[in-house]
Amino acid sequence: MTDATSKPQDTGLHAPTDMLTRGFDPALSVGSARPAVFRSSTYVFPSPEAAERAFDLSAGRARPAPGESVALIYSRFNHPNAEILEEQIVPLEPGASCALVFNSGMSAIMNALLAFLKPGATLVYSVPIYGGTQKLIQAFLEPWGVRGVPVHAGRGGELDAALRDNPQVGVVLIETPANPTLTMTDIARACRSAAGVSPRPLVMVDNTMLGPTFQHPLELGADLVLYSATKYLSGFSDLIGGVALARDPELLRKLKLLRNLFGTILQPDECWMLNSRLPTVELRMRQAAANARRIAKRLARHAKIARVLYPALFTDPAQIAIREAQCEASGAMLSIELAGGKPAAFEFLRRLRIARNAVSLGGVETLVCHPKTTTHSGFSEKEFAAAGVTDGLVRISIGVEDWRDLLADFEQALGSG
């Protein structure tokens, strides 16, 4: 297990210090301690030559010289708040050298897949995967000509076979732990398997559930890390955003050319908000995870709960081995299966007083939902069975309330009789 904050970055500073001291020059914001919000769609060029150079660089016809300051052009390509955020978020992800921000997690995933897949290519992806990602693959990428090959979370052999048996695998996309069962996929093993294929497919990890604090895919060999910043990174359930991070700037250069075309950059106000949340990501995640661990252990003993799905409570030795190798902690997501099925699950949701019945996750407030009828309602019966999404399953995103109040709320909602 690694401690991201214990390791100095390239600057010689530890991550929390590096994040708070890089990427922003108060002199460029009339001396304000916090960056201004630059709500401008276009930027005035200092000279026609500077405009010409900026366009050559933006279109990829030239590369910037080290230390070269490049004129801003137009806010669909770039703007100061995105630049500041992209600089400051890098130290949060061990192994990253660069970042790009997007106007949703889905647009980060879409840009990444479209940058590296073309019709005829194969995409190997772990299931269950986020519903929007599944829909993007099945309703858009497959009709467009990409062959999508799902492999079950946690079954390394299935992934190896998919890489062996399919031509032109361009991308392996892993989401771990899987939602809502928290089954883990071995990232290092997937990277080793991908390295055995020629040409080597890129390994992308949707790290929304445990990153950036508890799981570091780039250090395990992944090429690209993707986030729904809507969740833990922003943390207050008040904005939609996405991030892509990589060790190799060349990979993000390709994504950026597409982002320029698609118009999927995160807007200045959202960049400013997300920027202000970065220094507390680790504090929030650690507090929520400590709460979740205590609550999961106690709920596991409750008579009305058939099982609690939470990494710290894994019993399968293979899953425990993956958890030990790639996760610093179990995170703040857990699922409980109520013995009374759907009626018991709905009654539980109706009775909650502190936790709220809503989809999404990663906020400071505790959110609870019934995956089978909401987030996963598009699944077929076969997919429900394969993903372990049962009638009695309730997903809980634990927040930073006092854990004793949350536990009491869950216990009263479960009822006594």
Ligand X SMILES: *Cc1c(COP(=O)(O)O)cnc(C)c1O
Q: Using the rule CB under 6 A, is 240 a contact of ligand X?
A: yes
Q: Which of 76, 135, 192, 297 is labelled catalytic? A: 76
Tell me which of 206, 219, 282, 409 binds ligand X, using CB under 6 A: 206
Q: Taking contact as CB under 6 A, which single stretch among the options 91-99, 144-152, 225-233, 382-390 is the one that binds ligand X?
A: 225-233
Q: 292: burial class by Cβ within 10 Å (0-12, 13-18, 19+)?
A: buried
| Nearest distance, CB of residue 182 and ligand X, angstroms | 12
**Tokens 């192994």 sit on residue:** 95
Tell me which of 130, 232, 384, 410 binds ligand X, using CB under 6 A: 130
> Which of 245, 249, 243, 248 has the alpha carbon at shortest distance from 264?
243
Q: Using the rule CB under 6 A, is 94 a contact of ligand X?
A: no
Q: Using the rule CB under 6 A, is 160 a contact of ligand X?
A: no
Touching ligand X, residues 174-193 (CB under 6 A): 175, 179
233: phi then psi, degrees, rounded to nearest 5: -60, -45
Residue 209 or 322 with smaller CB distance to ligand X: 209
Q: Using the rule CB under 6 A, is 208 a contact of ligand X?
A: yes
Return the amino acid letter for 162.
A
Look up 231 and say whether it is catalytic.
yes
Q: Which of 160, 206, 223, 409 is labelled catalytic? A: 206
Q: What one-character-per-residue DSSP string does 39-77 give?
A: --SB---S-HHHHHHHHHHHTTSS-PPTT------BTTT
Q: How far apart are CA 250 and CA 252, in angstroms?
A: 6
Tell me which of 105, 180, 221, 235 binds ligand X, using CB under 6 A: 105
Q: How far apart are CA 55 and CA 62, in angstroms?
A: 9
Q: Which of 130, 227, 232, 310 is labelled catalytic? A: 130
Q: What one-character-per-residue DSSP string does 238-304 give?
A: ----EEEEES-HHHHHHHHHHHHHHT-BPPHHHHHHHHHHGGGHHHHHHHHHHHHHHHHHHHTT-TT
Terminal Cα distance for the chain, rounded: 42
Look up 135 and say whether it is catalytic.
no
Q: Taking contact as CB under 6 A, which single stretch among the options 42-50, 63-71, 102-110, 246-254 is the one that binds ligand X?
A: 102-110
Do 345 and 180 meet the contact criterion of CB atoms below 8 Å apart? Answer: no
| Nearest distance, CB of residue 132 and ligand X, angstroms | 5
Q: Using the rule CB under 6 A, is 106 a contact of ligand X?
A: yes
Look up 130 and say whether it is catalytic.
yes
Tell me which of 88, 104, 181, 185 binds ligand X, using CB under 6 A: 104
Q: Which residues bind ligand X (CB under 6 A)?
A: 104-106, 130, 132-133, 175, 179, 206, 208-209, 228, 230-231, 240, 242
Q: Which residues are known catalytic residues?
A: 76, 130, 206, 231
